[in-house]
Structure formats: structure tokens, C-alpha cells
Amino acid sequence: MFEKQKTIKALDPICGMRIAPANAAATREHDGTNFYFCAEGCAKTFDRDPHRYGHLAAPHPH
């Protein structure tokens, strides 16, 4: 039998959506942390003020 593997999901700090890093529409690195976004619009919002959202990153493996 095949075992179902868990997909580690990251939290889009703008909209709160959980997404698999491999499927992210955009990524950003800020203060040594990778952030993953469901859409380019969320990434652009993050770009305007990354310090506002930086604490919202969910832990995920690199």
C-alpha cells in the first residue's frame, strides 16, 4: 500500500491562505525568512510594508 504523504503548507501572510510552497504564485525573502503567496497581488501588498506582515509567517521547511 502507498502511504499518503503530508504536504507542508505555508501561510500567505496577507490573506491567510495555506499554500504548498511549490505552488506559490510568488515568493519573497525578508529578514532571512521565506514568504509564499497565493497571488501576485498578495506579494505586492507585502512589498509595500514587509515589516507589518513579517511576523505572520508560518513555520515551514526550506
Global confidence as pTM: 0.78
Q: What are phi and psi of 34, to 5 degrees?
A: -90, 135
Query: What is the pLDDT at residue 8?
Result: 83
Query: What is the pLDDT at residue 54?
Result: 73
Measure the CA–CA gap between 50 and 44, rounded to whole angstroms. 10
pLDDT tens, per residue, the chain with 62 residues: 555 566 789 999 999 999 999 999 999 999 899 999 999 999 999 999 999 987 765 554 44
Query: What is the pLDDT at residue 45?
Result: 97
Coil, helix or strand at residue 51: helix
- Cα torsion 47, 49, 54, 56 to 10°: value is -100
DSSP 12-47: -TTT--EE-GGG-SEEEEETTEEEEESSHHHHHHHH
